[in-house]
C-alpha cells in the first residue's frame, strides 16, 4: 500500500507541475515555431498532434510499465505507438510531461539539429541520477550530468577519445583479444566446441577491453582466482541494469525501492574497487613525475591521462571511470554477441571476411590502426549489427527552442524520442530489413540511406563518449578471430529483452572450430 501511495504521490505532483509548464510553453510557441519552418508550409499546433493524453492527473500512466516491460519488436510499446499514430505522436508520461515519439528520419535530424549549448536527453532523467549521486556524496558523471556541470566534465575529458588517440590502444587491445582466442583454443577440439552461451565469454572479453581503456590495467577474468576482478565486472553490469529501472519512475525520493538499493550497492562496490586501481596509479604517476618521465600522450589508461592533465579532481575522475566502465561493458558484450551470432549463420560471409583480412594483414599476427582502416567489410558488419540490434530502443533530447517537426509545433522543453528500432526495420528505409546484409553500407549503396535513420551512438556533443573505443574493440575482434576460427549455430533466432540496453534473453549457442588454412 505504501508503495502504491508513493507512486501516486510522485505521479500527481509531477504531472501537475509538468502540465503547467507545457501550457505556458505551448501558449507562446506558435509564432516562434512557425518561423522555424523554411519550406513555407503551414504547421499545426502541438495540441493537434496525434497521441495519448491518458487520464486526468496521472496521464498515460500505463506507458511507464509498457516502456519498462522489456518487450521488443512488434510487441514493444514504441512499435505499437508508431503503428497506431504514424511518424509522430505525443504521449503524456507522468513526471516527464508531454513526450514526442518520432520514427521519421527527417524529424530525427530536426531533433538533433535543434541541440543547444547544453544538450539534454531529459532534465528529469539527468536530475534523477544526479540527485542520487549527491545524496551519496558522489560527484556527477558525464553520462548523467546536466547543463553547465556536463559541459565542464565534457571539456575536461574530451580530447582523450579522438580517433587517433584511441587508435594508440590498438596493441594492448590486440593482447586482450589474444587472451580470448587462447581461452577458446584451450576449450576447442579438432571437431569444434559448442559454447552453450557465447554471451558469458563476450562479457569477460568486453570487461577486459573496457577496463584496459579506462584503468590501463589487464583485469583478468578468465582466471577464477581473480575474484575481485569478477566482482568489478558484476558490479558494472548491475549498475547499468538498475539505472534503467530507477530512472523512469524515481520513487526512491519517497520509497527506497529494491532497484534503488541495488543501484547504490553496485555503484559503491564499483567505486571501492576502482579506487584501489586509481590509488595504485597515483603512486606510480607520482614516482614518474618525480623522475620527469611522464608523457600524457603515451599513458595507456584514460584515467591516467585525466590524472596527469589535472583537469579533474581524483574523486571526479573516479566517477567518470566507473560510469564509462559500466556503460562500455554492457553495450560491447551484447553487440559482440549479436555480431558473432549473425556471422555464425553465414559461413560464406565469414570466408569473405577472412579473405579481406588476410589480404590486408598478410603474415602479421596483429593489425595496426592503419590496417583496420583498410578492411571496409568489418565496418559494414558493425554498422549492420547496430542497425538490427540497436543498444537503446530510442535516442532522446529535450529540445531547447520551439521547433517544427513533421508539420507540428513542438514547444521548447519537450522531450523528443527517436524510435531507433522502428526505423531500423522499416521498409521505407531498408530493403529486406530483417536480414543481416553488411554490404548495404558499402559507400556506393550507403548514399541512398538517410544519415539520421540509424544512429546507434547518438549524434552531436552528447553522442556516445566511448564510440571510437567500441568500434576499435569490434574491429580487432573480427580481424583476429575470423582468420583463426569458423563459427556456426543451430539456433534460428534469439529471444531479446529491452532493458537499459538491448540484450539476449536466452543463451546464445555457437560452435567454434579452428579454421583450416
Helices 198-215, 302-309: axis angle to 10 degrees equals 20
- Enter the C-alpha cell of residue 372: 583496420
Length of the chain: 517
Please report the sign of the dihedral spanned by the C-alpha atoms of residue 60, residue 395, residue 453, residue 22.
positive
pLDDT, tens digit, 9 for 90 and up, residues 79-118: 999 999 999 999 988 767 889 999 999 999 999 988 888 8
Which is more confident, 80 or 123?
80
pLDDT, tens digit, 9 for 90 and up, residues 183-219: 888 877 666 788 999 999 999 999 999 999 999 888 8
Query: Residue 259: which pLDDT band, with cuts at 50, 70 and 90?
Result: confident
Of 208, 209, 210, 202, the C-alpha closest to 487 is: 202
Please provide residue 284's backbone torsions phi and psi, each rounded to the nearest 5 degrees: -65, -45
Q: Which pLDDT score, from 0 to 100, does residue 30 have?
A: 41
Residue 337, SS3 per DSSP = helix
Q: Which pLDDT score, from 0 to 100, does residue 36 have?
A: 42
What value does the mean pLDDT take over residues 138-145? Answer: 84
State the chain's mean pLDDT as an integer.
85
Residue 89, SS3 per DSSP = strand
pLDDT higher than threshold 50 for residue 253:
yes
Which is more confident, 272 or 244?
272
pLDDT, tens digit, 9 for 90 and up, residues 9-55: 334 334 444 443 444 344 444 444 433 444 445 899 999 999 988 77
Query: Residue 235: which pLDDT band, with cuts at 50, 70 and 90?
Result: very high
pLDDT higher than threshold 80 for residue 258:
yes
Note whether 320 and 342 are within 8 A (CB): no
Note whether 43 and 51 are within 8 A (CB): no
DSSP labels for 401-470? Answer: S-EEETTEEE-TT-EEEEEHHHHHT-TTT-SSTTS--GGGGSHHHHTTS-TTS--TT--GGGS-TTHHHH
Query: Residue 75: which pLDDT band, with cuts at 50, 70 and 90?
Result: very high
Q: Which pLDDT score, from 0 to 100, does residue 47 have?
A: 94
Do the bridges between strand 97-102 and strand 193-195 make them parallel or antiparallel, or are there none, so unpaired? unpaired
The Cα–Cα gap between 153 and 144 comes to: 11
pLDDT higher than threshold 70 for residue 167:
yes
The Cα–Cα gap between 221 and 385 comes to: 26
As a three-state string, the secondary structure of 211-271 is HHHHHCCCCCCCCCCCHHHHHHHHHHHHHHHHHHHHCCCCHHHCCCCHHHHHHHHHHHHHH
Of 6, 100, 98, 13, the C-alpha closest to 54 is: 98
Q: Which pLDDT score, from 0 to 100, does residue 364 have?
A: 93
Domain 2-514 maps to which CATH number in 3.30.70.1400, 3.40.50.2300, 2.40.240.10, 1.10.630.10?
1.10.630.10
What's the predicted TM-score (pTM) here? 0.88
Report domain extents, the chain. 2-514
Q: Which pLDDT score, from 0 to 100, does residue 516 have?
A: 82
Percentage of the residues of the chain whose pLDDT score is greater than 70: 86
pLDDT, tens digit, 9 for 90 and up, residues 328-370: 999 999 999 999 999 999 999 999 999 999 999 999 999 999 9
Contacts of 26 (CB under 8 A, 6+ apart): 45, 46, 47, 411
Q: Which pLDDT score, from 0 to 100, does residue 123 have?
A: 63
pLDDT higher than threshold 60 for residue 387:
yes
Amino acid at each position: 500500500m505504501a508503495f502504491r501511495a508513493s507512486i501516486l504521490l510522485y505521479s500527481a505532483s509531477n504531472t501537475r507541475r509538468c502540465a503547467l509548464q507545457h501550457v505556458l510553453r505551448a501558449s507562446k510557441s506558435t509564432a516562434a515555431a512557425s518561423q522555424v519552418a523554411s519550406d513555407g508550409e503551414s504547421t499545426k499546433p502541438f495540441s493537434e498532434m496525434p497521441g495519448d493524453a491518458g487520464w486526468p492527473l496521472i496521464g498515460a500512466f500505463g506507458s511507464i510499465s509498457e516502456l519498462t516491460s522489456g518487450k521488443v519488436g512488434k510487441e514493444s510499446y514504441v512499435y505499437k505507438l508508431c503503428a497506431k499514430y504514424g511518424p509522430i505522436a505525443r504521449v503524456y508520461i507522468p513526471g516527464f510531461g508531454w513526450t514526442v515519439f518520432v520514427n521519421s528520419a527527417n524529424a530525427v535530424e530536426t531533433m538533433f539539429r535543434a541541440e543547444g549549448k547544453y544538450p539534454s536527453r531529459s532534465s528529469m532523467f539527468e536530475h534523477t541520477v544526479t540527485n542520487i549521486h549527491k545524496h551519496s556524496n558522489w560527484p556527477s558523471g558525464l553520462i548523467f550530468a546536466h547543463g553547465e556541470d556536463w559541459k565542464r566534465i565534457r571539456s575536461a575529458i574530451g580530447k582523450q577519445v579522438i580517433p587517433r588517440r584511441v587508435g594508440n590502444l590498438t596493441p594492448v587491445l590486440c593482447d586482450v583479444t589474444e587472451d580470448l582466442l587462447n581461452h577458446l583454443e584451450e576449450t576447442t577440439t579438432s571437431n569444434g566446441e559448442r559454447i552453450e552461451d557465447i554471451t558469458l565469454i563476450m562479457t569477460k572479453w568486453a570487461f577486459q577491453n573496457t577496463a584496459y581503456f579506462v584503468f590501463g590495467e589487464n583485469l583478468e577474468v578468465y582466471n577464477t582466482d581473480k575474484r575481485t576482478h569478477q566482482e568489478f565486472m558484476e558490479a558494472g553490469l548491475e549498475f547499468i541494469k538498475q539505472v534503467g529501472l530507477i530512472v523512469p519512475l524515481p520513487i526512491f525520493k519517497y520509497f527506497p525501492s529494491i532497484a534503488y538499493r541495488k543501484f547504490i550497492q553496485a555503484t559503491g562496490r564499483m567505486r571501492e574497487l576502482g579506487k584501489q586501481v586509481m590509488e595504485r596509479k597515483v603512486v606510480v604517476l607520482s614516482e614518474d613525475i618525480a623522475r620527469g618521465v611522464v608523457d600524457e600522450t603515451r599513458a595507456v589508461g584514460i584515467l591516467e591521462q585525466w590524472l596527469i592533465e589535472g583537469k579533474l579532481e581524483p574523486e571526479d575522475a573516479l566517477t567518470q571511470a566507473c560510469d564509462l566502465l559500466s556503460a562500455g561493458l554492457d553495450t560491447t558484450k551484447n553487440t559482440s554477441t549479436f555480431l558473432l551470432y549473425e556471422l555464425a549463420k553465414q559461413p560464406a560471409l565469414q570466408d569473405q571476411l577472412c579473405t579481406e583480412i588476410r589480404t590486408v594483414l598478410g603474415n602479421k599476427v596483429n593489425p595496426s590502426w592503419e590496417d583496420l582502416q583498410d578492411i571496409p567489410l568489418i565496418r559494414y558488419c558493425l554498422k549492420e549489427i547496430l542497425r538490427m540490434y540497436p543498444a537503446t530502443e530510442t535516442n532522446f533530447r529535450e529540445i531547447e527552442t520551439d521547433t517544427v517537426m513533421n508539420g507540428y509545433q513542438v514547444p521548447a522543453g519537450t522531450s523528443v524520442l527517436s524510435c531507433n528500432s522502428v526505423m531500423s526495420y522499416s521498409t521505407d528505409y531498408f530493403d529486406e530489413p530483417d536480414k543481416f546484409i553488411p554490404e548495404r553500407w558499402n559507400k556506393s549503396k550507403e548514399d541512398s540511406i538517410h544519415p539520421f535513420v540509424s544512429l546507434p551512438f547518438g549524434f552531436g556533443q552528447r553522442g556516445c563518449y566511448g564510440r571510437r573505443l567500441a568500434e576499435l574493440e569490434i574491429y580487432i575482434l573480427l580481424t583476429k578471430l575470423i582468420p583463426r576460427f569458423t563459427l556456426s549455430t543451430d539456433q534460428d533466432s534469439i529471444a531479446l529483452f529491452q532493458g537499459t540496453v538491448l540484450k539476449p534473453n536466452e543463451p546464445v549457442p555457437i560452435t567454434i572450430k579452428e579454421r583450416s588454412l
